[in-house]
Amino acid sequence: LLIDGEWQPSQSGDRFEVENPATEKCIASMANAGPEDVAAAVTAAERAFARGDWAQAPNDRAKILWRMADLVEQRSMELGHLESISNGRPISETSSQMQVVASYFRYFAGFCDKIQGSTIPTDAAHFSYTLRVPLGVVGQLTPWNHPLMIAAKKLAPALAAGCTVVMKPSEWAPLTPTEIGKIALEAGMPSGVLNIVNGFGAQVGKALAGDPRLGKLDLTGGTETGRHLTTVAGVKKLTLELGGNDPGILLPGTDPAPFVEGLFFGSMINSGQTCGALKRLYVHRDDLNRTAEALVEFSKNIPMGDGMDDWSLLGPLQNERQF
């Protein structure tokens, strides 16, 4: 666990194993946090926020986020490898995704010194103004299907705004979100600004969501999880990115051939384990048979296998429950 700038075991000493979904073999042993570890992480984040060397230093924040982007780019193949063996996606996808991760940190690095309020005219003797201030400690619950990309999408804006963070990665694929903690420290991030507590949602996620000291809670996960968190999170600000229900539409009389690849991968990217994946396809009844035949024929030529095989375009489902 990363708490207050230090890597440490859980207070209970418990650990859990992470499996490679392609081989079902253990690839890592992680510290399994409990509620007491979550409380310690929030305390560290709260103390770091009050210290002011992060919240009140926009230029320093920008430099550190930019360095993080550079380090992610330099280690893109290594990070892609870690992601592929823990969530099953082909290495060609996971390594190239690291360029997107780096771009998030660069994009928000540019915002650090541009978070401004507005001056509102009233009359010659008075003026009103708004002032934007960070929310404080932000709790983040990240998923297993795009482990580092979605973590970065949450981390970069929260850090750029001057908030401190306690992040709980998914227990199914915690390797790259935990590795970003090492990258943050290497980039010079002050202690306590980013804290990472690995463990299971029912214990760690619930403890984090229910901590009244959070200024905001941010979840990417299942719809039922989101519904449950609204009951334990209290009145804090919430961002919930939940399941999608996305259609594809093929207009009547359209030749399906030019669109088959897009329709297939729109549905089956990451083996279909994506909130934005197509869940259904609307096709005119007169075009149904030839569209179905074209999709079936295309699918026969998609190489499936271990995500670490260069030739694989479709990896395994991430875990037994998904299967």
Please list the active-site residues. 241, 275
Q: Give yes or no for a contact between 26 and 17, defined as CB atoms under 8 angstroms apart.
A: yes
Q: Give yes or no for a contact between 272 and 145, defined as CB atoms under 8 angstroms apart.
A: no
Rounded to whole angstroms, how far apart are CA atoms 59 and 111? 10
**Residue 286, Cβ density class (10 Å: 0-12 exposed, 13-18 middle, ≥19 buried):** exposed
What is the CA 68 to chain-centroid distance, rounded?
A: 16
Rounded to whole angstroms, how far apart are CA atoms 211 and 169? 17
DSSP label of 293? H
Q: Return the H-helix or E-strand segment holding 101.
A: helix 91-109
Rounded to whole angstroms, how far apart are CA atoms 137 and 283? 48
What is the CA 95 to chain-centroid distance, rounded?
A: 15
